[in-house]
Amino acid sequence: MLDGASPSPRKRGEGRGEGQPHTPAQAPAPHPSPLPVEEWGEGIDGPIWKDGAFHHDTWVSVADGEALPEAPAILPKKRWLAERDTLGQRDAPLGLRLEPGEAIADIGADLQRFALIALSFPKFRDGRAFSTARLLREKYRYPGELRAVGDVLSDLIPFMRRVGFDTLQVTHAPTRRALIEGRIAEVSLHYQPAGIVEPPAGTRPWLRRSRR
């Protein structure tokens, strides 16, 4: 199982990733993308899109029951709540993973301890993490790395950027290609302020344009 792949149990036949069937029929069908699905692992570009390139993931997602490694480790919220009092001596950075629907109000004071917070998009239609990202940035002033994980697709990426995500974990092959080739089609003008600082676009109060 890929690091950081969606933790929510996927029904057979649903979801994305190499070899997952993607049609409504029961018969296995090839992945709809006509080009070969990239594999990653040792020596190949990793799944983390950051600063214009793909990188290996330096973080480890800690599974249930697994001991914390001596490496940057991402904990689900439940694990954090159970162990937070014992993690004070830890040297390696800590990360937090939040599923949509998990509150942050009860861990608001803890957020500064995380060098990374990963927000999950179990299905691209579930847009809760967009609001969570903005709250983390704007209400809690979270300064660390905000990462989008899960069903991260081309057409969501401009929105993710605008609400404050720094990095993306991308496993969808056409999206990876589009990122590498600089082909994410987006609208660079915006009618509203969002989470990040954007230069104004004209004199009307809320118009913004993308930074790049």
Partner 1 sequence: MYRYDEFDAEFVRQRVAQFRDQVGRRLSGELTEDEFKPLRLMNGVYLQLHAYMLRIAVPYGTLSSRQLRKLAHIARVYDRGTGHFTTRQNLQFNWPRLSDIPAILDELADVEMHAIQTSGNCIRNVTADHFAGAAADEVADPRPYAEIIRQWSSLHPEFSFLPRKFKVAVTAAEKDRAAIQVHDIGLHLKRLADGRLGFAVYVGGGQGRTPIIAKLIRDDLPEEDLLSYLEAVLRVYNLYGRRDNIYKARIKILVHEIGAAVFTAQVEEEWQRIRDGALKLPAAEIERINAYFAPPAFERRPAKAALRAPDRAFDRWVTRNTHAHKHPGYAIVTISLKPIGGIPGDASAGQMDAIADLAQRYSFDEVRVTHEQNLVLPHVRLGDLWDVYQALSAIGLAEANAGLVTDIIACPGLDYCALANARSIPIAQRISERLAGRQDDIGDLKIKISGCINACGHHHVGHIGILGVEKRGEEHYQLLLGGSGAEDAALASITGPGFGPDGIVDAVETVVDTYLELRSGPEEPFLAAYGRLGAAPFKEALYA
Partner 2 sequence: MSKTATQISVLTANRLGDGIVVFLDFEGAWNEDLEQAIVARSPDEVKALEDRGAWDAVHNLVVEPYLVEVREEGGRPVPIRYRERVRVAGPSILGDVPGYVEPAPSPHRSSRWGEGRGLPSAQAEGEGQPHTSAQASAPHPRPLPVKNGERGAGAQLVEAA
Binding site for partner 1 (CB under 8 A): 22, 32-34, 100, 124-128, 130-132, 134-135, 138-139, 153, 155-156, 158-160, 162-163, 174, 183, 185-194, 201-202, 204-207
Is 35 a residue that touches partner 2 (CB under 8 A)? no
Q: Which of 1, 25, 105, 185 binds partner 2 (CB under 8 A)?
A: 25
The amino acid at 91 = D
What is the nearest approach in angstroms of partner 2 to the Cβ of residue 23? 5
Task: Report residue 118 as tokens.
Answer: 């990963």
**Which strand (E) or helix (H) includes residue 116?**
strand 114-121
Could you say which of partner 1, partner 2, none residue 30 binds, taking C-beta under 5 to 8 angstroms by partner kind?
Answer: partner 2
Q: Return the residue matching tokens 């040297």.
A: 91
From residue 146 to residue 165, what is the string marking binding to partner 2 with x (rule CB under 8 A)? Answer: --------------------
Which among 23-31, 110-118, 137-145, 176-184 is the span making contact with partner 2, rule CB under 8 A?
Answer: 23-31
What is the nearest approach in angstroms of partner 1 to the Cβ of residue 48? 21
Q: Beta strands 60-61 and 53-55: pairing type?
A: unpaired
Task: Report residue 119 as tokens.
Answer: 């927000």
| C-alpha distances out from residue 164 to 18, 97, 153, Å | 29, 16, 16
Question: Which residue lies nearer to partner 2 by CB, 27 or 105?
Answer: 27
Which one-letter DSSP state was computed for residue 112?
G
Question: Which residue lies nearer to partner 1 by CB, 87 or 135?
Answer: 135
Is 34 a residue that touches partner 2 (CB under 8 A)? yes
Is 112 a residue that touches partner 2 (CB under 8 A)? no
What is the nearest approach in angstroms of partner 2 to the Cβ of residue 33? 10
| C-alpha distances out from residue 103 to 2, 77, 106, Å | 26, 9, 7
Furthest C-alpha separation in the chain = 56
From 74, 78, 113, select the one nearest 97 (Cα to Cα). Answer: 74
**Which strand (E) or helix (H) includes residue 177?**
helix 173-180
Contacting positions for partner 2 (CB under 8 A): 22-27, 29-30, 32, 34
